[in-house]
Structure 1
């Protein structure tokens, strides 16, 4: 199982979750963070540290955020499994679901 990063992360990208992740599976897109579904080991360290409550265990994702699971998966279609976010840094694109969002309140 994996964790899902949903809409609340868009334009906020607090990144405290990145520091807590024991396997470096949280990647930074242009407007949001994304969980790599095959690198995530389900430790759950990211969820309680998220200040905007954007991270959900896959099976516990609220219905209105369910489509963000697929957005997290599809974000990696062109990247594959890089084996860790630290080596890539900022990835200059977002999933179309995130890219289409109007600017969110936390934009920096």
Structure 2
């Protein structure tokens, strides 16, 4: 089992989850984070840290559609181990639905 980052993270990318992860399995895109399912140890400490409630266990039906996205981008985006600055408008995007088409495939830039 693994945890999965879902659509709610798009354009929010708060990164509170990153600092509590004991195995550093988060990877960063331009406007989204993913969890590498092969590295996640299913501890669950990241889930309650997400202000956007974007992290779910893969056993949750809402997460299944995002498992492949997490795997795909974890293979090409840079690993992130420290919380960075969220986008300035993150709070405005936090509860907006239907953000899937806004997911950027571009990696996080320092």
Normalised by the length of structure 2, the TM-score is 0.68
Distance 1:4 1:102 in 2: 15
- Where do residues 1-108 of structure 1 align in structure 2 (5 Å cutoff)? 1-62=1-62, 65-78=63-76, 85-86=80-81, 100-101=101-102
Q: Which runs of 4+ in 1 moved over 6 A?
A: none
Deviation at 1:3, TM superposition (A): 0.4
**Which structure 2 segments of 5+ residues have no match?**
85-98, 105-110
Distance 1:45 1:61, change over 3 A: farther
Q: Does the CA-based 8 Å contact 2:11-2:32 persist in structure 1?
A: yes
Report how many residues are paired: 89
Question: Are the counterparts in 2 of residues 4 and 61 from structure 1 also a CA contact under 8 Å?
Answer: no
CA distance in 2 between partners of 1:48 and 1:42 (Å): 13
Task: Indicate if the aligned counterparts of 1:31 and 1:99 stay in contact, CA closer than 8 A.
Answer: no
Contact 1:8 1:52 in 2 (8 A): yes
Alpha-carbon offset, residue 66 of structure 1 = 2.6
Q: CA deviation at 1:24?
A: 0.6
CA RMSD of aligned residues (A): 2.7
Once the two structures are TM-superposed, the CA of residue 75 in structure 1 deviates from its matched residue by 1.2
What per-residue deviation string (whole Å, max 9, x for no partner) do you get for residues 37-75 of structure 1? 11111110000111110000000242xx53111100111
Q: Where does the alignment leave 5 or more consecutive residues of structure 1 unmatched?
A: 90-97, 104-108
**Which residue matches 1:94?**
none
